[in-house]
Amino acid sequence: MRTSTIARKTAETDVTLTLNLDGSGKADVLSGVGFLDHMLTLFAAHSGYNLTLRCTGDTQVDDHHSVEDIGICLGLAFAEAIGDKKGIARYGDILLPMDEALIQCAVDISGRAVLCLDLDLPAQKVGTFDTELCEEFLLSFVRNAGITLHIRQLAGRNTHHIIEGVFKALARTLAKATTVVGDAIPSTKGVLA
């Protein structure tokens, strides 16, 4: 089983996260940030990964530290669970509609952390969630997962729909890229790092 448990405790947050890449899409998520709980629950459902998360953070300040540290932990867990990347498809992509929003997403599980993000979020908040934290989460995840991730918004007017489309597209794209299709490391170099 490709699984990992990460615990991270700082003066700002206390996070424990377990990720199973060979799960069934089950989520048990309590981040202290309601909108992020919603996004991570649908991320698990659409990737087929199992995700368990507990986070206590300084949300009395704002949600930034919790969102960032959860992204870090998810990235670390992903990198550990995927291991040497032997046998995986490596690449994945999707064009995902979410009502009026349309999101293009592509990933290379390359060992190189690159995020190319092109979003136009009309609102600064979804409920109490600061929408700029979507990018912070993705940056934290990508840097610690060691993946190359391109996400582009092709259409969309509703900020909730756009961000939901991003998380669903990321989930579906990672599911494709982590599918086991052989027994070799998918690189002519013999290593993905």
Q: What is the pLDDT of residue 187?
A: 74
Question: Strands 114-118 and 148-155, how do they pair?
Answer: parallel
Q: Is residue 190 part of a domain?
A: no
The CATH number linked to 98 is: 3.30.230.40
Q: What would you report as the CA-atom Rg of the chain, rounded to the nearest whole angstrom?
A: 16
State how far the Cα of 91 lies from the Cα of 186, in Å rounded to an integer. 10
Q: Is residue 186 part of a domain?
A: no
Q: What is the mean pLDDT of residues 116-143?
A: 98
Q: Is residue 48 part of a domain?
A: yes
Q: Which residues pair with 117 in a beta bridge?
A: 151
Q: Is the pLDDT of residue 191 over 80?
A: no
Could you identify the residue written with the tokens 């840097």?
143
State how far the Cα of 102 lies from the Cα of 94, in Å rounded to an integer. 10
Single-letter residue type at 169: A
- Length of the chain in terms of residues written: 193
Percent of the chain with pLDDT over 90: 93
Give the Cβ contact number of residue 125 at 10 Å.
12
State how far the Cα of 48 lies from the Cα of 51, in Å rounded to an integer. 9
Q: What is the mean pLDDT of residues 46-62?
A: 96
Q: What is the pLDDT of residues 145-189, one digit of tens each?
A: 999 999 999 999 999 999 999 999 999 999 999 999 988 777 767
Q: Is residue 191 part of a domain?
A: no
Name which of 53, 76, 67, 193 is nearest 144 in CA terms: 76
Q: What is the pLDDT of residue 52?
A: 98
- Sign of the torsion angle spanned by Cα atoms 134, 140, 142, 143: positive
Structural domain containing residue 31: 3-177
Q: Is the pLDDT of residue 120 over 80?
A: yes
Q: Is residue 188 part of a domain?
A: no
Q: Is residue 18 part of a domain?
A: yes
Q: What is the pLDDT of residues 70-79, one digit of tens each?
A: 999 999 999 9
Domains: count for the chain: 1
Name which of 115, 128, 124 is nearest 166 in CA terms: 115
**What is the rounded end-to-end Cα distance, in angstroms, of the chain?**
22
